[in-house]
Structure 1
Amino acid sequence: MSNFTPKSNKRPIVVHSNPKSPASEAYRNLRTNIQFSAIDEQVRTIMVTSAGPGEGKSTTSCNLAATYAQTEQKVLLIDADLRKPTVHHTFGCSNRFGLTHVLTNQCQYKEVILESYVPNLSILPAGAIPPNPSELLASNRMRAFIDEIKKEFDIIIIDSPPVIAVTDAQIVATRCDGVVLVVDYGNVKIAQAQKAKEKLEHVNARILGVVMNNVKRSVKDEYYYYYGENS
């Protein structure tokens, strides 16, 4: 593992930079709800996705991972959005090497996992954008890799591409214990959210719940993240 210092903090991890904020509390509530949803079966690998782009899935992934790290658990955040990766921007680190290099056997995962500035939180950037993202994510190497890192980390959060546009998220969902679906409240049509849910259910993904992003909290137009259990 390597250490790095963020070059800038244009996308701060709010649960780390402002832990007493309403948004931070909402992320902690999300973590708690996930933990309570897994009474009979432990949830250790969690995929975060959305119906379409720009709904806040990556922000949710990063902050959810940080909240787990704050409980003294060893957490790994994986950027599995091999088409439009953003986790490296959030943490201000290089994306030169990452998941794609691991899946194509160009390096070992221990060589490219980075220790973030959030205690107990490591990240694996996406790496170079490949010509065949779906094939890499569906490979036996991906399955073996998840099995390997589960021996080293307590919680694994995977940021995946949106569900509707490509099959990547459906593929990754089959590798995970549960899925969190992020929906941009007011901007995403109900039909789109329903379609995303159906696509995940088609591969027997376990949908842990839905994060409603940008819900008005008060007349002051504050915004927060809301967790709702799917029925």
Structure 2
Amino acid sequence: MTRSALPRFLAIAAKWAGRMVLALAALVILFLLSAWIGGAIPRNAGWTEPDTGVTIMVETNGIHTALVLPLVTPEKDWRSDFPASDLPASGRDYTHISVSWGEREVFLGTPTWTDLSPLTALRVVTIGGDSLLHVAHYVRPAPSDTARPLRVSAREYALIVEQIEAALYEADGRSVFPGYTDQDVFYDAAGRYDMTKTCNQWTSDTLAAAGVRTGWWTPMVGGVMRWVPRPGE
């Protein structure tokens, strides 16, 4: 390349780089807008919380959502599926489990969200990946703004159980992976994570399959949590 042609080449490269940045920004804005709209459209819009039934919780850390379930009810005893013996802290009197679904490498490689690299995030969004169930064990979890109680009927709870069992037992394996603390672990799960089925979409799909009101498309936390009243509301 001649010296005289270099400025023109750099100008063209800068022009195309600028277009790519604008296109990426437009895609991000479109994704966020569609997530906001999709999360505001309810599934099972006529559902109401029953007077009696099973109290679960929908919890979030601001990015990820999970379902907190009683360890033992007449509908389901989770101790055989998720035994405390899988935990380093196996001797505690656990009362609940927290179950969520997500992408394998993100789960195993990001104990905190600051550990998530931009390249990993881009790969997960564009290509996707295999999935895991994250199961944490709790002792009498307290309701809060980030762990909101939700009462469902016995039948609805049984359907939630079916969805979780399907994710666990339709997986290719049954491996157990260490969690972030001594009270949580990961299990192989069925399904493939991608842009259309995120961890938060799995939470809302599980609730929707049981007939519970939730957002239609919920890649972000807000599409799930907006349908679960805060304690006292």
Same-fold call, TM > 0.5? no
TM-score, normalization by structure 2: 0.23
Instruction: Give 1 or 2 for the bigger CA radius of gyration.
Output: 2
TM-score, normalization by structure 1: 0.23
